Amino acid sequence: MTNRIMIVGVGGQGTILCGKLLTIALMKAGYDVKMTEIHGMSQRGGSVSSEISYSDKVYSPVTETGGADIIVAFEKLEALRYSDNLKPSGKMIINDHVMYPASVLSAKADYPEDLNSRISEKFNASFLKASEAAKELGNTKVMNIILLGALAKALDLDGVNWDEIIEENVKANFVEINKKAFRYGHDNINL
């Protein structure tokens, strides 16, 4: 069976780096890995997704409807948007964070207020205030690595040295804060 993970969010939130580090870890753990991304207009604040699949041998890089084992959502509304991709037995890890799309910013639509309960009722979902925590750590950008830490906990991959992966793939002066972020996500997610 191929394991499938989707990382979804808003363009500019750092989903791509999160997905990249995950694929490196999976390769180090000895898996065949594929990843696919649709990033047409992603720089301009659109909805984005990265899909990562691993197994002994992976064929399709794309996750089928109802095929993802885990969805990591960097923003709550995006968790709802992509929920059809989750297996009924699947799990959601959600950044408890709101980003208004244009229609809400301009007061033409409302942002659904009951997302946490609506999603929790239907799915096995864990919420983490990753954006707030990143701000407290001193850099809002490391939210993506906090969520990677949470995901790593859920995956529990054998023999992966995450610190080393961060050291090898993050600019030198951001290594420490990213390690802290990873640890925060890993230790604070309630799975």
Partner 1 sequence: MKNLLTGNEAVALGAVDSGVKYAGAYPGTPSTEIVENLSLCKEELYSEWAPNEKVALEGAIGACYAGVRSLACMKHVGLNVAADPFFTNAYTGVNAGLVVVSADDPGMHSSQNEQDNRHYAYHANVPMFEPSDSQECYDMMREAYEISEKYDTPVLMRLTTRVSHSKSIVERKEKLDVPFRPFEKTPTKYVAVPAVAKGLKVKVIKRKEELEKYSETSVFNKAEYYDKKIGVIASGICYQYAVDVLGKNASYLKLGFTYPLPTDLIKEFASNVEQIYVIEENDPVMETQIRALGIEVIGKDRFPLTGEMLPQIIRKVILGDANEVTAIDKSDMPARPPALCSGCPHRGIFYSLAKNKKRRDRIYISGDIGCYSLGYADPYNAMDSLICMGASISAAHGASKVYDMMGLAENKAVAVIGDSTFFHTGINSLMNVAYNNSKVITIILDNRITGMTGHQQNPGTGYTAQGDEALMLDIPTIVKAVGIKNVTTINPNDLSSVDEAINSAMEYDGPSVIIARYPCALKRFSKEDKSEFGEMYVERYSVDAEKCTGCKNCLRSGCPAISFDKTENKAKISDDSCLGCSICSQICKHDAIKKVVK
Residues that bind ligand SF4 (CB under 6 A): 43-44
Residue with the two structure tokens 């999603």 = 119
Chosen from ligand SF4, partner 1, none, partner binding at 42 (C-beta under 5 to 8 Å by type): partner 1
Residue with the two structure tokens 């809002």 = 140
Is residue 159 packed enough to be buried (19+ CB in 10 Å), middle (13-18) or exposed (0-12)?
exposed
- Given a contact cutoff of 8 angstroms between Cβ atoms, the answer to whether 78 and 95 are in contact is no
Is 121 or 156 the residue whose CB approaches partner 1 more closely? Answer: 121
Q: Rounded to an integer, what distance in angstroms lies between the CA atom of residue 98 and that of residue 115?
A: 10
Q: Rounded to an integer, what distance in angstroms lies between the CA atom of residue 99 and that of residue 10?
A: 8
Is 100 or 174 the residue whose CB approaches ligand SF4 more closely? Answer: 100
Task: Name the site residues for partner 1 (rule: CB under 8 A).
Answer: 2, 10-11, 23-24, 27, 32-47, 58-62, 64-67, 77-78, 80-81, 83-84, 86-88, 100-107, 109-112, 118-119, 122-123, 140
Is 38 or 105 the residue whose CB approaches ligand SF4 more closely? Answer: 105
Q: Could you tell me the smallest distance in angstroms from the CB atom of residue 147 to partner 1?
A: 19
